[in-house]
Structure 1
Amino acid sequence: MSKNPEDTHLNQTINESPTKDRVFDLSTVLEDSLNEFFIFDACNLSFIQVNRGARQNLGYSSEELMTMTPVDIKPEHDYDSFMKVLEPLSSGKEQRIQFNTTHLRKDGSTYLVEAHIQKLHFQDRSVYVAIIIDITKQTQNNVDLIKAHAFLDSAPDATVIVDDSGVIQVANKQMVKLFGYSKEEMKNMSVDMLVPSRYRDSHAKHRKHFSDNPKTRGMGIGLDLSATTKDGKEIPIEISLSPIETVEGSLVAAAIRDISARKASEEELQLARKTAEDATAAKTRFLAAASHDLRQPLQALRLYLSALSSKLDQPKAIQLSQKMNLSLDTMGELLDALLDISTLESGSVTADKRDIRLSEVLNKLIADNAPLAEEKGLVFLCEGLDCMIHTDPVLLQRIIENFITNSIRYTETGKITVKGILADGVIRVSVNDTGVGIPDEALERVFDEFVQLDNAVRNRSKGLGLGLSIVKHIARLLELPVCAESVVGVGSTFSVDIPLSDSQEVIDTEQETIHFNSSTEIDPTILIVDDDPAIVDAMMELLTAFDVNVITANNGPEALTKLDEGIKPDFLVSDYNMPDMNGVELITKIRAKYNEDLPAVIMTGETSAEKINDENLPNYTVLHKPININQLLSLIESIRT
C-alpha cells in the first residue's frame, strides 16, 4: 500500500500548527511511550503514525508500517470484521471502545493486548487513535491466580491467606465447609473472628510474634487449639503456618485441620486403655487373692499329712502317705506354675532392673537347691566369675532356679555345674548337667507350655512342663537371650546372657563344692507365726515329731508378747501377709530384740517374692506355699551345731 499524500500532509500540519511546541512535546511523549500508539485513517484504515513502542513490539520499521493497516497485525480479523468492531465509533454511538485482542509480530509470534480506540476529526479528516497495552504478563498473572485458587480449593485442609494485619485475603472452599462462612463473607474479615472470644487478645499477640519471626512451623505445638464456626460451635484444630513474601507485602498461609475425629478416637483409646488397666488390676488382685487363698488349705493339708506320716508304722499306710504327699507336691507345683504364667501374661509383672553382684543371686539358689542334689547323690558345683550385673535379681533368680531344678530332676548320676563366663559385654550364666539329654529336634519345643520329653503318660514326678515356659516369659520381659544345648546321653546346658553394669568389677571365684552340716543332738527352738490357725496347728504337729521345741503365735504382736516371757528362739518361721505386722517387720523386731540375725524362713502365698526381697533382709529363705516340708526340715537341720 503506497503512502497517502494526505497522511504526509497531516503529519506536516501537526508539526506546523500554531501550537507546535505543545504538540511537539506531546508527540515526543507518545513516541517514547512503552505502550503502542497508532493513528490510522477512518476510511481505508491505513496507518498514519506509529510510535516507537509499537514498532519495537511488532518488529516492523516505520516505512513498513506505513504500508499496512490494523487488519495486518490482527490475525483474527479481516477488513469487514474489524470495521464491525469500529462501528460504535463510526456511527457515533460511542466515543471510545475498549477490547482485548491479539497482535501479530513480523516474526509470526503473537501477544495479547488491550486496545483503547477513539475517533477524532482533524482538519476535516476523520482518524482513529489507538493506545495499545501489552497484557501478556497481566494475563499470565491472572491465569496463575486462577490456578492458585484452584490449587487452594483442591487442598484437603481448610486454607486461608492472611495479611500482616490479620485480615483474610483468600479462603478456599474447605474453609467454607469447615466454618460455615461464604468466601465473600471471609474476604477482608479479621482472622481473629475465627478464634474463640476468650483467646482473641492473646491470638493477636501471637500473630505479631509470628510476623516478627516468620518461618514455616506448626502453631501452638503441644497445646489444644480450637476455632469457632459461624454458628458458634467450637472445634479442635491443628494449624500449620507458612510465610509468603510478595511485592505488596508479607502474607501468611494457614492450613487448618479439623481433628474432632482424632480427638474422639484418642478419648476412646484412653477409655479402652483405662478399661484394660482396670481389668489388669482386677486380674492382679484376683491372682493375689487366689494365690493366697488356694495355697492356705494346701499348706495346712500338707503339714497335717506330714505330721500324720511321722506317726505311721505300717508299710501300707506309709506308702499311701507318700502317694498323698506326691499328689500334694504336684498340685502345689501346678498351682505355682499356672499362677506364674497368668501373672506374667497379664502384664502385672514389671522388671525392676538394678546393679547387683551375681554371687548374691547364685549363692542363695545354690543353698536352696543343694539339699535336693545331695538327696539324689549328685555333685553340685559353682565355678567361674563373679561380677556386677544390671537386671532384675528376683526375676533372674527365677530363670536360673528353673534351670537348676530341671537339671536335678533329669540327672540321675554325675554332677551339676553352675558357671559364669564373660563374653561381649555380658556374662553367660549356664547350668550344665550330666543327665539324659534332649534330641536336637525337640530343643526348640522345650520352652513351650506343657512340653515334656519321654513323658507321654504325664508322670508328675518328672514335672509339669511349665518351668521353661515361665523362663521364656521372664526372659522376654527382661530382654535376656536364653539358650539350650544338649547331647542325648551326655547332658544338657541351659544358659542366659546378662548385661554387665556400667561400674564393672570382675572377681575370679574358685570352684566350690557344696558341703552340708551334720546333725547333732541339740534340739532347736522354732518360732512359728501364721494368721491361719490350721497352718499353725499343723506345723506344730509336724515339727514336734522331729525333736524340736515349738513356740506358736497367730500374729506379730502375740509372738513378741510370748518372747517377752523369756524364751529365745533359734529359728524363725513366719507368714509374710499378716494383719498388724508383716513377716519381714516381725523378724526385724525380733532380731533387734536379741541383737542377732537369727536364721529365718518367710512363707508366702504369692507367686513372686519380689516385695520380700526388696526389704533387703539378711539371712533368710523364702518358701512358697504349700511349702516343701523336706526343704524346711533341711533348713532347720542346718542350724544344729
Structure 2
Amino acid sequence: MAKLLETTTDALLIVNSSGEIVFVNSVASRLFGYTSDELIGEAIEVLIPHSLCKRHERDRQRYRGAPHSRPLVSGLSLQGQRKNGEIFDAEVSLTPVDNDGEALVASIVRDTSQGDESEAYFRHLLKAAPDAMIIVDENGLIAIANDQSERMFGYPHDDLIGKSIETLLPTSVRERHVNHRNRFLRDPRLRPMGSGMELYARRADGFEFPVEISLSPIESASGKFVSSVIRDVTERREMERDLIAARQEAERAHKANTAFLAAASHDLRQPVQALSLLTGALQRTVKDELALEMIDSQMHSLDAMTNLLNSLLDISRLDSGAIKPEIEEFPLQRLIDRLAAEFTRQARQKGLTFIATPSTAIVRSDPNLLGEIVQNFVSNAVRYTNVGEVQLDCRVDGTDLLVDVIDSGIGIAPEHYDDIFREFHQLRVDAPSNEGFGLGLAIVRRLADLLGHAVSVTSEQGVGSRFSVRVPLASNASSGESGNHRDADDGQAPPSRALVMLIEDDRRVSAAWSMLLRAEGYRVVEVDSAGAAEKVAAELDETPALIISDYHLLHETTGVQAVGAVRKIFATELPAIIVSGDTSKVVDDARSISNSVLLSKPVNTDALLDLARQVVHSGRVSAD
C-alpha cells in the first residue's frame, strides 16, 4: 500500500484521530523539508505556522466529529510551514479513511504560491468540466473558455479568446445584453442555473438554441470577472414539449372518454329501456302460455344485457375517475330495506330463503356506492346458491361495522380468493345459475378501494361463502343489533285506474312506458317537456296520482323543472319518479327534491311497478 501511495504526484499525509502523522510520502517530505522518520508520530500542527496552530486544532476536532470528503477546489486554503521556517500558501483536500475500525484522515497538500502551477491546475479543472465555462472581463471580452465551449459554439479556442460575449448571443438581444452585463457588474451577485429565464445562444453557423446560464462574480488582482456556466437544454425542452403534448393528448382522451360515457349512459340505455318496458307490457297482456314462455326468455336476455351494460359502464367510469364518493352518515337500514325489496322475490323464485337482518347502525360512507358493493354480493350469492338460504347480516368490530352476505352455495377454493376480484373471471361450475360475466366483484374491488373500505371472503367448497365489507361506524352509531325482518312484498292491490303524468321526450320510450302503465291498469297522459307538462297540467280536471319523468327533456329542460311546474299548478307535492341514463353529477339536483326518487335506466319493470303501486297507495315516495 505504501508503494502505491508513493506513486501520487501530490504531497500526501495520513493523520490519525489524535492528529498524529502516521504516513507521509516522499513528495510531502520534499515539500516540507523533513524526512519521513522526522514526521511520523508528530502532531500535524508541526507543519502549520505557530500563530495558526490553536485554530487548526479546533478545526481538526470539529472535523473529527463530522468527517467528510473535501476536495482541493472546495476553497480550503491554509498556510504551511517548512522545516526551515518558510511559510507558504497551500490548498488542502481531506478524505476520511476507515482502517480496520481506526479513523484516519488522508490529506493532499498543494503549494499554491507558484502562480504558474495554480493557473495550470485551474485550466485543468475548466477542461474537465462537463458544461461550457466562459469567464469574461469587465469589458465583456472572453478571457477563458474551456473545451466544452468550443464544442458547444463551434468556434476554435483562439477565435473565442478576446471575442465579445455578445457574439455568442442572438443578434436580436445583443444590444440589450450589453446593458444587462453592465448592470450585473455594478451589482454582481450569484445567479444559479435554472432561474426561470428563457435564454438562447447562437453558434458560429448562426443556429440558435435554448440554454440555461449561471453567473458568478470573481474579483482578483487583475480586476473583476464574471464566470458563466452554460448548458444546452435543447433535449430537455424537446422532452418538456413532448410531455406537454402527451398530457394534452391524455386530457383530450379523458374528455372523449367522459363524453362517451355520458352518451353511452343515456343513448345505450334508451333502447334497452324501451325493450324492457315493451316486454313488461307484453307480459301483462299476453295470455298464450307459449308466448308467455317466449316473453320470459326475452326478459331473461334483457336482464342479462342490462346487467352487462351497467357493469361495463361502471368499470369504465371507475377507471376514468368519473365517480367521486360523497360520504355521509346514514342508517344502514335504508340499504337493507332496499336490498330486501329487490332480492326477496328473486330468491323465492329459485326456492331460496332470503333473510335480511335489520340493523340500527349508523355508518359513514357513500350510500349509493356502498349499496352497489353489497348488491353485488347478494346478487352473486343468489346466483350461485341452488338450495338453502342467503342472509344479509352485520356485526360490530371495534369502530367498524362488518356487513356480511352469507350463502349456502357452491363455495370457493382458497386459491381462487384473489382471482374472483379480477375482470371476467368466473368460477367453473356446472350449475344452471352460472349467468354472470365476471365483472361484479371487479367493480366491488374498485368501489371498495375508492371508498377505503376493506372487502374479504371466507368460503368452503360445497358449504357456502361469506363476503364482507368493513364500513366505519358514525360517531353516534348504535350497536347494529338485529330484529325481525319485514317482508318487502306488501301485498298491496293493483291501482284502480289512477292517473299518471308521463314526461318523456323520446316517442318510442314514451310509447313503451305508456303501454306498460296501461297494461297495469293506469290511465296515462303523455308530454315531452317541462313547458308542455305545465300547459297540460293546467287543463287537467283531475290531479295525477304520480309523475314519472325522464331527467333530460326537450328544449334543454329537466325532469326536476317539469315536476316543479306540475306541482305548482296543483299546489301540492305530488309524488314523482325521475329516471335517467345519465350517471354524472349533472343529475344530482334530482336526488334532493322531496317526495321523489331518482332511478337509473334501464329500470326493472317489476320493481318500477311495485314502487308505483306503493306510491299511488300512500301518496308518498319512501326516502329509503
Kindly provide the amino acid, as one letter, of the partner of residue 451 in structure 1.
H
In structure 1, C-alpha distance between the alignment counterparts of 2:476 and 2:251, rounded to whole Å: 41
What is the CA–CA distance in structure 1 between the aligned matches of 2:184 and 2:377, rounded to whole Å?
67
| Alignment equivalent of 2:177, drawn from 200, 205, 216 | 200
TM-score of the two chains, using structure 2 as the length reference: 0.69
Matches within 5 A, 1:193-272: 194-195=168-169, 197-198=172-173, 200=177, 203-204=180-181, 207=184, 211-212=188-189, 214=190, 217-221=192-196, 223-230=197-204, 232-241=206-215, 252-272=226-246
Q: Contact between 1:381 and 1:415, CA under 8 Å: does it hold in 2?
A: no
Which has the higher mean CA deviation after the structures are superposed, 470-479 or 573-582? 470-479
Please tell me whether residue 335 in structure 1 is matched to residue 309 in structure 2. Answer: yes
What is the count of residue pairs matched by the alignment?
498
Are positions 1:632 and 2:592 aligned together?
no
Say which SS state the counterpart of residue 465 (structure 1) adopts.
coil
The reply on whether 1:464 has 2:441 as its aligned counterpart is: no
One-letter identity of the residue aligned with 1:473: R
AA aligned to 1:623 is L
| 1:352 corresponds to 2:324 | yes
CA distance in structure 1 between the partners assigned to 2:401 and 2:221 by the alignment: 71
Shift of 1:468: 0.9
Structure possessing the higher radius of gyration over alpha carbons: 1
Aligned partners of 2:381 and 2:390 also within 8 Å: no
Q: Can you list the C-alpha shifts for 1:45-73, whole angstroms capped at 9, x where unaligned? A: xxxxxxxxxxxx999xxxxxxxxxxxxxx
Aligned to 1:574: 549
Q: Does 1:370 align with 2:346?
A: no
In structure 2, the residue corresponding to 1:211 is in which secondary structure?
Answer: coil
Mapped to 1, the partners of 2:326 and 2:221 lie a distance apart of: 64
Which residue pairs with 1:125 in the alignment?
A: none
CA separation in 1, counterparts of 2:186 and 2:588?
57
Q: Match of 1:38? A: none
TM-score by length of 1: 0.67
Give me the CA root mean square deviation.
Answer: 3.9
C-alpha deviation, 1:285, in angstroms: 2.9
How far 1:538 moved relative to its partner?
A: 1.7
The CA deviation string for residues 297-350 of structure 1, in whole angstroms up to 9 with x for no partner, is 2222222222122122233322222111111111221222223334444x2x33
Equivalent position amino acid for 1:380 in 2: A
CA distance in 2, matches of 1:422, 1:301: 45
Distance in 2 of aligned mates of 1:443 and 1:106? 82
1:432 is the counterpart of 2:402? no
- Give matches, 1:66-77, under 5 Å: none
**Which 10-residue stretch deviates more, 466-475 or 612-621?**
612-621
Does the Cα contact within 8 Å between 1:404 and 1:431 map onto a contact in 2? no
Q: 1:569 is matched by which residue type in structure 2?
A: P
Assess, with a 3 A threshold, how the Cα gap between structure 1 residues 373 and 616 changes in structure 2: closer, same or farther: closer
Question: What's the offset of the Cα at 1:182?
Answer: 4.2
Residue 238 of structure 1: how far off its partner (Å): 2.2
Distance 2:406 2:567 in 1: 39
Say if 1:586 and 1:227 are closer, same or farther in 2 by CA, change over 3 A.
farther
Checking the alignment, whether the CA contact within 8 Å between 2:333 and 2:360 is kept in structure 1 is no
1:587 paired with 2:587, answer no
Q: 1:193 and 1:429 mapped to 2: Cα distance?
A: 75
CA separation of 1:594/1:370 partners in 2, compared to 1, >3 Å: closer, same or farther? farther
CA distance in 2, matches of 1:593, 1:165: 88
The answer on whether the counterparts of 1:192 and 1:200 sit within 8 Å (CA) in structure 2 is: yes
**1:531, distance to aligned residue in structure 2 (A):** 1.6
8 Å contact 2:384–2:434 — kept in the other structure?
no
Structure 1 residues 232 and 290: CA distance shift in structure 2, 3 A: same
CA positional deviation for 1:628: 0.9
Q: Which of 379, 385, 394 is the aligned partner of 2:355?
A: 379
The residue aligned with 1:528 is 502
1:154 aligned residue: 128
Q: Residue 167 of structure 1 contacts residue 190 of structure 1 at CA under 8 Å; is this kept in 2?
A: yes
Call closer, same or farther: CA 1:178–1:335 in 2, change over 3 Å.
same
**What are the within-5 Å matches in structure 2 for residues 491-570 of structure 1?**
491-497=464-470, 506=477, 511=482, 513-516=485-488, 517-520=490-493, 523=496, 524-566=498-540, 567-570=542-545
Cα separation, 2, equivalents of 1:388 and 1:605: 27
- 2:412 & 2:503 partners in 1: Cα distance? 44
Quick check: 559-568 or 224-233, which moved more?
224-233
- Residue 635 of structure 1 and its aligned partner are, at CA, apart by 0.9
1:605 to 576, 581, 592: 581
Structure-1 residue corresponding to 2:271:
297
How far apart are the structure 1 equivalents of 2:553 and 2:186?
Answer: 64
**Structure 2: unaligned runs, 5 residues or longer:** 1-31, 35-81, 89-109, 348-352, 619-624
- Tell me the percent identity: 32
Provide Cα deviations, 1:223-256, integer angstroms capped at 9, x if missing partner.
4333344555432222344566756666554322
Q: Could you tell me which of 247, 261, 264 is aligned with 1:273? A: 247
Residue in structure 1 matched with residue 455 of structure 2 by the alignment: 482
CA displacement 1:59-98 (0-9 Å, x = unmatched): 9xxxxxxxxxxxxxxxxxxxxxxxxxxxxxxxxxxxxxxx
Secondary structure class of the residue paired with 2:405: strand
Q: CA 1:557–1:628 in structure 2 vs 1: closer, same or farther (change >3 Å)?
A: same
Equivalent residues of 1:394, 1:613 under 8 A apart: no
Secondary structure of the 1:564 match is helix
Asked if structure 1 preserves the Cα contact closer than 8 Å seen for 2:591 and 2:598, the reply is no
Q: Which amino acid aligns with 2:553?
A: M
Residues 92-138 of structure 1, C-alpha deviation per residue, up to 9 Å, x if partnerless?
xxxxxxxxxxxxx999xxx9xxxxxxxxxxxxxxxxxxxxxxxx967
* Aligned residue identity for 2:441: L
Per the alignment, residue 419 of structure 1 pairs with 394
2:562 partner amino acid? L
Once residues 393 and 410 of structure 1 are traced to their aligned partners in structure 2, the CA distance between those partners, rounded to angstroms, is 26
CA contact (8 A) 2:335 2:367 kept: no
Contact 1:351 1:478 in 2 (8 A): no
Distance 1:498 1:142 in 2: 78
In the alignment, residue 264 of structure 1 is paired with which amino acid? E
| 3-state secondary structure, aligned to 1:257 | strand
CA distance in 2, matches of 1:187, 1:500: 77
Q: 2:114 & 2:210 partners in 1: Cα distance?
A: 39
Alpha-carbon distance in structure 2 between the residues aligned to 1:202 and 1:499: 67
Secondary structure at the residue paired with 1:446? helix
Once the two structures are TM-superposed, the CA of residue 143 in structure 1 deviates from its matched residue by: 3.2
**Amino acid paired to 2:341:** P
CA deviations 1:454-490 (Å, max 9, x no partner) are: 5457x56643221111223344455654322334455
Residue 560 of structure 1 aligns to which amino acid in structure 2?
Answer: E
